[in-house]
Amino acid sequence: MRLRSVLCSAASALSALALLSACSGGSSTATPGDGKPLVGVDYPRSDTDFWYAYITYTPEYAKRYGLSLRTTNSQNDVAKLAANTQTLILQGAKGIAMAPQSTFAIAPILAQLRAAKIPVVTIDTRPDTGRVYMVVRADNRAYGEKACKYLGTKLGGKGKVVMLEGDLASVNGRDRTEGFNDCMKRNYPGIKVFGETTDWDGAVAAQKLQTDLTAHPDIKGVYMQSSLALSGTLQVLRQEGLLVGPKDRRHVFVVSNDGIPRELENISEGHIDATVSQPADLYAKYALYYLKAAIDGKTFKPGRTDHHSTIVRIRDGLLEDQLSAPLVTVDGGTYGGVPSLKSTDPSLWGHSLG
């Protein structure tokens, strides 16, 4: 029912987009007054620290690459994304970057943009079907594996952990979940994992963590697939008398995901133990880099890049630039073979916005 509802809610917007494409002859001809190529960036949401950082960095990199910028915000709604796409085309966008959070529902939007010969770069997520010029994200399976190896090491391969999953309609939620579960089964079979779907909702995550701790007070680890769950997790642990330092036997080891300033502060304070720093700054940078490249007619192949990442072929017609996303801990140690950076490392983007 959810899939049907999402697709139906986008139908009218997509129909209008198809009409617009037909009427425009498959191209956008408007030129901004400054003479710079016009690109559109749709923000998926603005109510989280991570996406606030991405929004902050985007105009900076548009200026650096000599692009004129128009932005919209789809608020995690595929129908709004379709409508915003129409707006950007009408404004003359010669390329569009987007970060669709429901990756199964955007194929019709991508098909219409492809018909209009407008290149698309997706950030943070990749579409389940359809083609785009480039996907810019990190290896999300590796996010789950890094969290697994940190917790597996700290728990000595035994005990119980809760994984606060994102949304399994998103490739990120699926990748992080599969990476964590596969790593646990392969390396730490003595650890019991309670997987809880949260739909990227912090309140839902807190409620499910509370339920699990009530039923299993011996839980010793939590993996949050997003910093959206940070505040609620800390509140629940505080209420249960478990928000104590890592040397206290009551301590519950917590691994987060994003690398926002509050996570880095909480690692230094001993409230949480680790995070995976998802590169908000580089997402903005390479979203605009690849849009400019698309406008200039450049093409790319799988392999190492000049910015210390790897482009991989996901399927025919879909390349993904997998950027670095380091594990961050208080001591910068190596856990289960995974090296980490200290939470105080000045190279972390979270410090530039702290």
Mean pLDDT value across residues 128-150: 96
pLDDT digits (tens, 9 = 90+) for 165-174: 998 888 899 9
In angstroms, the Cα distances linking 69 to 149, 280, 295, 307, 325 are: 41, 18, 14, 24, 27
Length of the chain: 354
Euclidean distance between CA atoms 75 and 72, whole angstroms: 9
Provide the b/e sequence for 38-69 (b: ≥16 CB within 10 Å).
bbbbbbbbeebbbbbbbbebbeebbeebebbb
pLDDT digits (tens, 9 = 90+) for 73-87: 999 899 999 999 999
How confident is the model at residue 29, as a pLDDT?
A: 38
Looking at mean pLDDT, say which of 20-29, 45-54, 57-66 comes out highest: 57-66
Residue 61 has pLDDT above 80, yes or no: yes
pLDDT digits (tens, 9 = 90+) for 129-138: 999 999 999 9
Name the nearest CA neighbour of 21 among 113, 143, 145, 135: 113
Euclidean distance between CA atoms 120 and 319, whole angstroms: 12
Cβ 57 vs Cβ 3: under 8 Å: no
Token pair of 300 as six digits: 């790319």
pLDDT digits (tens, 9 = 90+) for 30-59: 445 568 999 999 999 998 899 999 999 999
Residue 20 has pLDDT above 70, yes or no: no
How confident is the model at residue 2, as a pLDDT?
A: 44
pLDDT digits (tens, 9 = 90+) for 202-261: 999 999 999 999 999 999 999 999 999 999 999 999 999 999 999 999 999 999 999 999
How confident is the model at residue 7, as a pLDDT?
A: 42
How confident is the model at residue 13, as a pLDDT?
A: 46
Euclidean distance between CA atoms 351 and 354, whole angstroms: 5
Mean pLDDT value across residues 107-112: 92
How confident is the model at residue 354, as a pLDDT?
A: 54
Euclidean distance between CA atoms 66 and 32, whole angstroms: 12
Question: Which class for 1: exposed (0-12), middle (13-18), buried (19 or more C-beta within 10 A)?
Answer: exposed
Percent of the chain at pLDDT above 70?
A: 90
Q: How confident is the model at residue 19 (pLDDT cuts 50, 70, 90)?
A: very low
How confident is the model at residue 336, as a pLDDT?
A: 98
Q: How confident is the model at residue 347 (pLDDT cuts 50, 70, 90)?
A: very high
Give the orientation angle of helix 49-64 with respect to helix 280-295, to 10 degrees. Answer: 40
Cβ 145 vs Cβ 225: under 8 Å: no
Cβ 279 vs Cβ 136: under 8 Å: no
Residue type, 289: Y
18-32, 97-111, 148-162, 179-193: which has the minimum mean pLDDT?
Answer: 18-32
pLDDT digits (tens, 9 = 90+) for 304-318: 999 999 999 999 989
Residue 23 has pLDDT above 80, yes or no: no
How confident is the model at residue 18, as a pLDDT?
A: 46
Mean pLDDT value across residues 173-201: 97
Q: For residue 294, how far is the Cα from the chain centroid?
A: 23
